[in-house]
Protein backbone atom coordinates (compact mmCIF):
# COMPACT_ATOMS: atom_id res chain seq x y z
CA UNK A 1 0.00 0.00 0.00
CA UNK A 2 1.14 3.51 -0.72
CA UNK A 3 1.35 6.09 2.03
CA UNK A 4 -0.77 9.22 1.59
CA UNK A 5 2.37 11.08 0.49
CA UNK A 6 3.23 8.37 -2.06
CA UNK A 7 -0.33 8.49 -3.42
CA UNK A 8 0.06 12.24 -3.83
CA UNK A 9 3.43 11.84 -5.61
CA UNK A 10 2.11 9.19 -8.00
CA UNK A 11 -1.11 11.10 -8.77
CA UNK A 12 0.87 14.30 -9.38
CA UNK A 13 3.30 12.50 -11.73
CA UNK A 14 0.47 10.93 -13.70
CA UNK A 15 -1.37 14.23 -14.06
CA UNK A 16 1.85 15.99 -15.13
CA UNK A 17 2.76 13.34 -17.69
CA UNK A 18 -0.67 12.44 -19.05
CA UNK A 19 -2.76 15.53 -18.50
CA UNK A 20 -6.39 14.78 -19.25
CA UNK A 21 -6.44 11.04 -19.91
CA UNK A 22 -9.35 9.15 -21.36
CA UNK A 23 -9.65 5.39 -21.41
CA UNK A 24 -8.75 4.17 -24.91
CA UNK A 25 -11.50 1.54 -24.68
CA UNK A 26 -14.54 3.43 -23.32
CA UNK A 27 -13.55 7.11 -23.10
CA UNK A 28 -14.05 7.32 -19.33
CA UNK A 29 -11.74 9.81 -17.60
CA UNK A 30 -11.87 8.38 -14.07
CA UNK A 31 -9.16 5.97 -13.03
CA UNK A 32 -7.97 4.26 -9.89
CA UNK A 33 -4.28 3.83 -9.10
CA UNK A 34 -3.30 0.37 -7.92
CA UNK A 35 -1.45 1.01 -4.66
CA UNK A 36 1.49 -1.26 -5.34
CA UNK A 37 3.96 -1.03 -8.12
CA UNK A 38 4.43 -3.94 -10.46
CA UNK A 39 7.55 -5.34 -12.04
CA UNK A 40 7.85 -6.63 -15.57
CA UNK A 41 10.49 -9.28 -15.26
CA UNK A 42 13.14 -9.38 -17.97
CA UNK A 43 15.53 -12.15 -18.79
CA UNK A 44 18.41 -12.42 -21.22
CA UNK A 45 17.82 -14.66 -24.24
CA UNK A 46 21.13 -16.38 -23.57
CA UNK A 47 19.99 -17.52 -20.13
CA UNK A 48 16.20 -17.91 -20.10
CA UNK A 49 16.05 -19.60 -16.67
CA UNK A 50 17.42 -16.81 -14.48
CA UNK A 51 15.42 -13.63 -14.22
CA UNK A 52 17.93 -10.82 -14.31
CA UNK A 53 16.04 -7.59 -13.79
CA UNK A 54 12.70 -5.92 -14.18
CA UNK A 55 10.97 -2.71 -15.16
CA UNK A 56 8.83 -1.19 -12.38
CA UNK A 57 5.43 0.18 -13.35
CA UNK A 58 2.40 1.93 -11.96
CA UNK A 59 -1.00 0.56 -13.01
CA UNK A 60 -4.16 2.56 -13.61
CA UNK A 61 -7.61 0.95 -13.81
CA UNK A 62 -10.51 2.55 -15.67
CA UNK A 63 -13.41 3.26 -13.34
CA UNK A 64 -15.99 2.24 -15.95
CA UNK A 65 -14.75 -0.70 -18.03
CA UNK A 66 -11.75 -1.90 -15.99
CA UNK A 67 -9.20 -1.35 -18.74
CA UNK A 68 -5.74 -1.40 -17.15
CA UNK A 69 -2.80 0.68 -18.32
CA UNK A 70 0.78 0.34 -17.13
CA UNK A 71 3.18 3.28 -16.86
CA UNK A 72 6.91 2.97 -16.39
CA UNK A 73 7.70 4.15 -12.84
CA UNK A 74 11.13 5.39 -13.94
CA UNK A 75 9.61 7.57 -16.64
CA UNK A 76 7.06 8.87 -14.15
CA UNK A 77 10.00 9.72 -11.84
CA UNK A 78 8.26 8.31 -8.76
CA UNK A 79 11.05 6.03 -7.54
CA UNK A 80 13.35 6.89 -4.67
CA UNK A 81 16.62 8.00 -6.35
CA UNK A 82 18.65 6.38 -3.56
CA UNK A 83 17.31 2.84 -3.94
CA UNK A 84 15.40 2.97 -7.26
CA UNK A 85 13.47 0.05 -5.77
CA UNK A 86 10.91 1.88 -3.68
CA UNK A 87 8.68 4.85 -4.25
CA UNK A 88 9.72 8.32 -3.14
CA UNK A 89 8.53 9.06 0.38
ZN1 LIG B 1 -12.66 2.26 -19.81
Distance 38 CA to ligand 1 centre (A): 20
> How far is residue 31 CA from its own chain's centroid?
13
Q: 9 with 78: CB under 8 angstroms?
A: yes
3-state secondary structure at position 61: strand
pLDDT in tens, 58-68: 999 999 999 99
Q: Is 18 exposed, middle or buried (0-12, 13-18, 19+ CB in 10 A)?
A: middle
Cα–Cα distance measured from residue 27 to residue 78, given in angstroms and rounded to the nearest whole number: 26
Q: Is-above-0.75 flag for pTM?
A: yes
Distance 82 CA to ligand 1 centre (A): 36
Distance 79 CA to ligand 1 centre (A): 27
Distance 32 CA to ligand 1 centre (A): 11
Query: To 5 degrees, how large is the angle CA 76–CA 17–CA 19?
Result: 150
Q: Tell me what the pLDDT averaged over the chain comes to.
A: 86
Distance 72 CA to ligand 1 centre (A): 20
Amino acid sequence: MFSDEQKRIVAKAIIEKLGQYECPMCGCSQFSIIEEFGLHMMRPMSNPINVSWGIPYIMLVCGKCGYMSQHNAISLDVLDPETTQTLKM
